[in-house]
Every structure is written in structure tokens, then in C-alpha cells.
Amino acid sequence: MAQLILIRHGQSLWNALNKFTGWVDVPLSERGRAEATIASCRLSGYRVNVCFTSKLIRAIETATICLTERDDICGGKIPIIKHKESDQDWHGWNNYDGNPAEELPIFTNAALDERFYGELQGLNKADTAEKYGREKVNEWRRSYSVRPPGGESLEDTQKRVVAYFNSRILPHLLQGDNVLIAAHGNSLRSIIMRLDRLSPDEVTALELSTGVPIVYELDTSGEVIDKKILND
């Protein structure tokens, strides 16, 4: 049995301004950092063995706050971001073999990034709804297969997210590791759609709050046996 903890990043500075964000690399707001701190308290008693985040700073900040505000979640280990030589921005910072006995690895990967919002990135959501109509904008934001102009549909996002989840994250869960994934509204909706077996119609109603941990218990074959939302 293993635990999988999903957390949408805390409020970002653009969430606070109600702007479409997508791949724009906006940091957490003060409230977002507080949400991540509260999340770490809600995770008191939980233990993580490995962490995955997107490449975007709001998810990385959320993960590191969750893993460092309290000692127990890492079991006394030090969380360390593991960079890869194949990363575009590699600059030799990992000239160190690591010590698994003392470290909790954090792997960052663009496969977990937010849905690419194309031409909507940087626009205010309310203004955009006024300009194009609420129904159209809601279709861009919440339908499964309709793409926003120049961007990814949830279906596009789900393909890259679930491929990464199956190949890179699931093997950890199957060997009994407890996993934390800090990511985004739409990358996490993609994973939840798979875990909860939601249909394309059902996923349109799925909304995730910022900074609220969702804990899944999985059996040894990766099937979900329990789900808890830690929101109080």
C-alpha cells in the first residue's frame, strides 16, 4: 500500500489578479505561501518518500514549503531537487552522487506543467469572459477537448501528464513509496481523472482549491482504495 498526495500550488500572484497563467512562471503570493504552510500542518503525521513537481516556480515553492515547514513529513531527510544533465538549463550543479539515506529527492518535470493557455496567457479571466462570452470562455477553461486559442485542451495536457505519471511516478507507488505531487489545476485534474475514472463530461465539474492536499491510498496494484481531501 502507498499514499499519493496531490497538491495544487498555493495562490500565485496572477491567481490573485484573476489572470490566465498557463506556462507563465509566476511565483506564489503571500497568501499562497501561507496556504502551503497550512497544507504542511494538515499533512502532520504523513510521511513522503519522493516528490514530483512541475518546472514552474509556484509548484516548486509549494512543494518545498510543504516539505520543510515540519520535520516529520520527510522523516528527518533533507529534500533535494535532482537536476538532470539532459535539462536545458543544466549547469553542472549536481556534481554530487547523492546520499539516498539522508535525502528526499524532488524531481521536476515539464510534463507536470499547467495546461498551455496559448493566446489567453496574461489576460484577465473576467474581461475575457466579457469579450468572448461566459459560455465560450467556460468551454475553453473546462471542456475536455476544446482548445483555447493557440493553447492545449485538457485532453492534450492529460496525454503528457498521464504518460509521465504512468512511466515515472506509478513505479514508485507500486514499490510502496509515498509520493507527493505538487502541480497545477489542470495537470492535477488530468491525474484525478485517471485515478477516479472520471469521464470527459464528469471532469468538467472538477475544481481544485489552491494549497489543499488530496491524499489517495493505493493498493499494491495501483488501484485506489481511499481518498481524503485535507481541507479542515
Ligand X SMILES: O=C(O)[C@@H](CO)OP(=O)(O)O
To the query of whether residue 130 is one of the catalytic residues in this protein, the response is no
**Position 21 contacts ligand X (CB under 6 A):** yes
58: annotated binding-site residue? yes
3-state secondary structure of 159: helix
For residues 6 and 220, the answer to whether their CB atoms sit within 8 Å is no
Distance CA 158, CA 187 (A): 7
User: Using the rule CB under 6 A, which residue among 20, 46, 52, 216 binds ligand X?
Assistant: 20
The most distant pair of C-alpha atoms in the chain lies apart, rounded to whole Å, by 55
Report 198-227 residues binding ligand X (CB under 6 A). none
- Nearest to ligand X of 77, 141 (CB atom): 141
CA 167 to CA 151: how far, in whole Å? 25
Known active-site residue 61: no
From the list 20-28, 31-39, 46-54, 83-91, the region that binds ligand X by CB under 6 A is 20-28
Q: Does 114 bind ligand X (CB under 6 A)?
A: yes
DSSP string, 186-232: HHHHHHHHHHTT--HHHHTT----TT-EEEEEE-TTS-EEEEEE---
Contact call for residue 153 and ligand X (CB under 6 A):
no
Instruction: Assess 165 for contact with ligand X (CB under 6 A).
Output: no
Residue 91 assigned ligand-binding role: no
Binding status of residue 172 toward ligand X by CB under 6 A: no
Residue 76 annotated as binding site:
no
What residues pair up with 226 in beta bridges, in sequence order?
217
> Is position 22 an interface residue for ligand X (rule: CB under 6 A)?
yes
The residue whose grid cell reads 489572470 is 19
9 makes contact with ligand X (CB under 6 A): no
Name the H helices within the chain: 13-16, 30-42, 57-68, 125-132, 134-142, 154-164, 170-174, 185-195, 200-203
The stretch near ligand X (CB under 6 A) out of 13-21, 31-39, 41-49, 73-81 is 13-21
Which residues contact ligand X by CB under 6 A? 15, 20-22, 114, 117, 141, 185-186
| Catalytic residue annotation | 9, 114
